[in-house]
Structure 1
Amino acid sequence: MEGDLNQKLLTEGEEDVKFRQKLWRELKKMWIVAGPAIFTRFSTFGVTIISQAFIGHIGPTELAAYSLSLTVLLRFGNGVLLGMASALETLCGQAYGAKQYHMLGIYLQRSWIVLFVTGLCLLPLYIFATPLLIALGQDEEIAAVAGYIGRFFVFVVLSFIVSFTCQMFLQAQSKNMIIAYLAAFSIGIHIFLSWLLIVKLKYGLAGAMVSTVLAYWIPNIGQLLFVTCGGCKDTWKGFTMLAFKDLLPVVKLSLSSGAMLCLELWYNTILVLLTGNMQNAEIAIDALAICLNINGWEMMISLGFLAAASVRVSNELGRGSSKGAKFSIVTTTLTSLCIGSVLFVIFLFLRERLAYIFTESKEVASAVADLSPLLACSILLNSVQPVLSGVAVGAGWQSIVAWVNIASYYLIGIPIGVVLGYIVGMGVKGVWVGMLVGTSVQTLILVIITWKTDWDRQVVLARSRVNKWFVPESRETNSNQENGA
């Protein structure tokens, strides 16, 4: 009896040790992706904040025009291209897990083609920004300056094509430390050039925009050199005409991915527009802008975990491990939720003290204090919802999530926000409650989908996708040789 008990305790102890080792390995794999991804997103977000800070010292018209261009024009292009590029996360992640390493380079080139054509279609928005903004009812003087900024944003939009695709290509291989190093170098150069061109040499808005464009392109040049000059020997085999083969399935997956992300980004824009039509709109918009700015910084953490969830799930599915995929989902979700819970408590108790970082107005600070509980709840939801979106990207469910977003945000969240904000008279709080309800419904649906999913079947689907678009390495080598000839 005593021997059986000792054997049982010994077995349980070994299982506990094995679980801790498994958890530690998974956490290391997760943070290898999440850590650099969070830092990179903070740095990229910081580029626009630094530009905004320097332009604010040029003049109020320039600041208003830059804010308008950033919110209406650049965010739109960013959302479309980032969403479409996330198809590459699915394809590269699953191919890497299946050890079809040479396919990653082909997928990268296919994504370049799709995104370049999409980018060309977006360019008229930036070239003809002034008449477009005037047609939308904006002040003509601000619209004229915004049109000038929009022409610089053409180069920023084109930079997204390289930036997003190379990041996802490298993340799939857990080689994204190079992205973080380049982002840190770029933001340092941006601060120096902004000071030199605006403060010292007095080049004004042109200097600010030249520095901004360079800040976006410097990391791209570094990433391209790293990818093509030996940093990815197994996954980059050179340029190939096979990139033009099987483009239609990539286009379909890219469109689904773009719709999924854009529906989320446009949701926040609509909330700001709804708030702008209320009484005391200036205070309401200022308070909401402060809260959304804080929420935006916190979202950089969540988007880092989105990248980690996408990479880990796609790698495990490509490898053929349904248990590994499920364990990755639980580990990443709980880690993100723990961080979100700590931030929830912090922002719940800071209240109006948050506002004085951005404003000296007591009215705005009071409005921010009133919104703080909703901000804290948003932060808590943000710690789960993006992770589940990352799981969807890793598994290739973008089209499903796009429909979930339509139902949650546009059929539930916005109507509730309008009713509470305008009819019930809750104002900006009512609009934000509507946003929270929409996000909560979306999160709940994604939890149910993830929980109910047959992950063994997802492995089969991932293998089917990988094998369907597989090109033997010998064919790729021949194609490269033909190109060289």
Structure 2
Amino acid sequence: MEEDNINQTLLTKEKSVQENGVEDKEEDENLPLKNRVWRETKTMWVVAGPAIFTRVSTFGINVISQAFIGHIGSTQLAAFSLVFTVLVRFANGILLGMASALETLCGQSYGAKQYHMLGIHLQRSWVVLFFSTLLLIPLCIFTTPILEALGQKDNISEEAGYISLWVIPVLFAFVVSFTCQMYLQAQSKNMIIAYVSAISIAIHILLSWLFTVKFKWGVAGVMVSTIIAYWLPNIGQLLFVLCGGCPGTWTGFSTLAFTDLWDVLKLSLSSGVMLCLELWYNTILVLLTGNMKNAEVSIDALSICLNIVGWEMMISLGFLAAASVRVSNELGRGSAKAAKFSVKVIVSISFAIGFVLFLLFLFLRERLAYIFTNDEEVATMVSNLSPLLAFSILLNSVQPVLSGVALGAGWQSIVAYVNLASYYLIGIPVGVVLGYPLKLQLEGVWIGMLFGTLVQTVVLLILTYKTDWDKQVTIARSRVSKWEVRDIGESSPET
């Protein structure tokens, strides 16, 4: 009789694990701290590892393109830098921000076992982002007059106008790339993205060399290679999703993708505003630099520094993805303590990596510049900016992760206000005062904007620390119930 009771208890526990998709949280809390940290770290790296590699590879596309264009000419390098740090970042901010709504919805639906909803969320996001991209095309067509109106040099603006026309296919590539990444990350199936990204960047290096060095196609050769490099991973992701890679969450195209689009748009816009305010921040820095003395050298030096910051940012964005997925999954499952513990582990690991990179870049200085340019004046300016570069890297190791927590919990609207106040009411005004009236030039503008980032990071830390995570579980469950389509049969994802 006693044996039957034990067996019944084991069967009940096994059934509970199968239904809830998680182990008994009380048992987890009784484990030694080091065991809990190790378990969370392994779970986190399943998402963060491929996400970091994918983002580093994707960002590497721009860096490789910039390196080849930098050896074509100084004007071309400045124009490319303007297009990709102003226009592309502007569009990237809108589209990535809007796609981040999908990250919240997919993550919480997956945690709540509403697997059938992930494919619907993905298709709705495609519709919203596609039409949003159409509205961005005029920016590419009228880049030259826009930059001239903002005070940029005529020769740089004209070259930027030519490059911007090549950017239109890249914008549509973002639609597929961002949405598929969010969809796959929520299921911890983003390793496929890492594979196709690795292949893409290798092909980009080969084609860029072939088109510019062998065929002498110049800027056009680099841009053709760039477009191919952006679209190859998209083709791989789409084939994986549509051809059976996600049988439990992708059940085919559905007319339900055209329902509730207004609600999807509202959540996407709040997500978009949150990330746009963040991603456009460095864009303001570039525009302010374009109005300074010796603008071409300043833009070249700053673009090199921002590219280095961008490389490190890709690591932090990988942790952003991990934080978003872990928090949204745990909230969807109903585990407030697990969500809170995930935040602590991910922030700690990201900061540790950022601190090591902080020390590294403090000592490399101008040696970094010669990767991108042969101009000694530009390299000297990069050396002078190295301390600011290092501190930017340190702050960026924490701030994006906290934004990932916000995405996972669905705090987009709150963080949008924090970003607006920290960046645009504090950071930029301080930077302008230091850069112009106090004549610190580029260094002054950057110091002011770093101060804005510091304020934002501190506010997000306080917000995260004081959050009532049990209340967040209730909010997440309400959101999942609101978005559920009940006339679709549920299925289980392939393990």
- Deviation, 1:323, is 0.6
1:438 aligns with 2:452: yes
Q: CA deviation at 1:90?
A: 0.3
Residue 323 of structure 2: aligned partner: 309
Q: Structure 2 residue aligned with 1:400, among 404, 407, 414?
A: 414
Deviation by residue 1:283-340 (Cα, 9 ceiling, x = unmatched): 5444433322221111111111111101110010001000110010000000001111
Matched, 1:455 2:469: yes
**Alignment partner of 2:267 out of 250, 253, 256:** 253
Task: Give 3-state SS (helix, strand or coil) of 1:474's partner.
Answer: coil
Letter in 2 for 1:416: V
Residues 118 and 183, structure 2, Cα contact 8 Å, conserved in 1: yes
Secondary structure in structure 1 of the residue aligned to 2:440:
coil
Q: Which residue of 2 aligns with 1:325?
A: 339
User: Contact (CA 8 Å) 1:102, 1:473: kept in 2 or not?
Assistant: no
Deviates further, 373-382 or 38-47: 373-382
Matched-pair contact (CA < 8 Å) for 1:302–1:387: yes
Question: What is the CA deviation profile of residues 80-119 of structure 1, one whole-angstrom value per residue up to 9, with x for unaligned ones?
Answer: 1011101111000000000100100000001001101101
Give 1:348 deviation, angstroms. 2.6
CA distance in 2, matches of 1:466, 1:317: 10
Q: 1:233 aligns with which of 237, 247, 251?
A: 247
Quick check: 1:171 aligned with 2:185? yes
Of 211, 220, 223, the residue aligned with 2:234 is 220
- Structure 1 residue aligned with 2:401, among 387, 395, 398? 387
- For residue 91 of structure 1, give the secondary structure of its aligned residue in structure 2: helix
Please show how residues 123-272 of structure 1 align to structure 2 within 5 Å: 123-140=137-154, 142-272=156-286
The question of 1:110 aligning with 2:119 is answered no
Separation in 2, partners of 1:261, 1:223? 24
Which 10-residue stretch deviates more, 199-208 or 394-403? 199-208
Go from structure 1 to structure 2 and tell me whether the alpha carbon gap of 1:20 and 1:145 turns closer, same or farther (over 3 Å shift). same
**Alignment partners' CA distance in 1, 2:251 and 2:283:** 42
Change (3 A) 1:121 1:358: closer
Q: Structure 1: where are the runs of 5+ without partners?
A: 1-13, 478-485
Equivalenced residues, count: 464
Amino acid at match of 2:406: A
What residue in structure 2 maps to residue 338 of structure 1? 352
Q: Hey, what's the Cα distance between the residues in 2 that align with 1:242 and 1:230?
A: 20
Is the deviation greater in 134-143 or in 77-86? 134-143
SS at match of 1:278: coil
Give the aligned partner of residue 467 of structure 1: 481
> What is the deviation of 1:431?
1.6
Whether 1:411 aligns to 2:433 is: no
- Amino acid paired to 1:372: S
CA contact 2:152–2:291 (8 Å) conserved in 1: no
1:152 deviation in Å?
2.3
Partner SS state of residue 136, structure 2: helix
CA distance in 2, matches of 1:352, 1:194: 25
**Structure 2 counterpart of 1:181, one-letter code:** Y
Query: Alpha carbons of 1:442 and 1:155: their partners in 2 closer, same or farther (altered >3 Å)?
Result: same
Distance 1:291 1:149 in 2: 21
In structure 2, the residue matched to 1:99 is 113
Per-residue CA deviations over 1:417-443 (Å, capped at 9, x if unaligned) read 122222333332222221121111101
Task: Rate the CA distance shift 1:142–1:378 in 2: closer, same or farther, 3 A.
Answer: closer
CA contact 1:240–1:476 (8 Å) conserved in 2: no
CA distance in 1, matches of 2:384, 2:79: 29
d(CA) in 2 for partners of 1:259, 1:419: 26
CA–CA separation in structure 1 for the residues paired with 2:79 and 2:128: 31
Which AA in structure 2 matches 1:456? D
Gapped runs of 5+ residues in structure 2?
1-27
Deviation at 1:164, TM superposition (A): 0.4
Q: Is the 8 A contact 1:242 1:476 kept in 2?
A: no
* TM-score for the superposition, normalised by structure 1: 0.89
User: Which amino acid in the other structure matches residue 450 of structure 2?
Assistant: L
The verdict on how the C-alpha distance between 1:67 and 1:429 changes in structure 2, with shifts beyond 3 A counting, is: closer
Maintained 8 Å contact 1:51/1:194: yes
Shift in CA distance, 196/235, structure 1 to aligned 2, threshold 3 Å:
same
The 10-residue stretch of structure 1 (141-150 or 326-335) with the greater mean CA deviation from structure 2: 141-150
CA contact (8 A) 2:81 2:300 kept: no
Shift of 1:355: 4.1
2:103 aligns to what?
89
In the TM superposition, residue 346 of structure 1 has moved relative to its aligned partner by: 1.9
Between 313-322 and 208-217, report the one with greater CA deviation: 208-217
Change over 3 Å in CA distance of 1:54–1:365 after alignment to 2: closer
Give % identity.
71
More moved, 37-46 vs 103-112: 37-46
Counterpart of 2:385?
371
Instruction: Give secondary structure in 1 for the equivalent of 2:488.
Output: helix
TM-fit CA distance, 1:212: 1.5
Decide whether the 8 Å contact of 2:114 with 2:490 is kept in 1: no
Residues 46-55 or 108-117, more deviating: 46-55
Alignment match, 2:59 = 45
- Report if the CA contact (8 A) 1:420-1:430 is conserved: yes
Q: Is the 8 A contact 1:352 1:365 kept in 2?
A: yes
Contact 2:304 2:369 in 1 (8 A): yes
Judged with a 3 Å threshold, the aligned counterparts in structure 2 of structure 1 residues 285 and 141 are, in CA distance, closer, same or farther, namely closer
* 1:256–1:399 CA contact under 8 A, matched in 2: yes
Cα distance 1:417–1:89, how it changes in 2: closer, same or farther (>3 A)? Answer: same
1:81·1:161 contact (CA, 8 Å) conserved in 2?
yes
How far, CA to CA, are the matches of 2:80 and 2:52 in structure 1?
Answer: 25
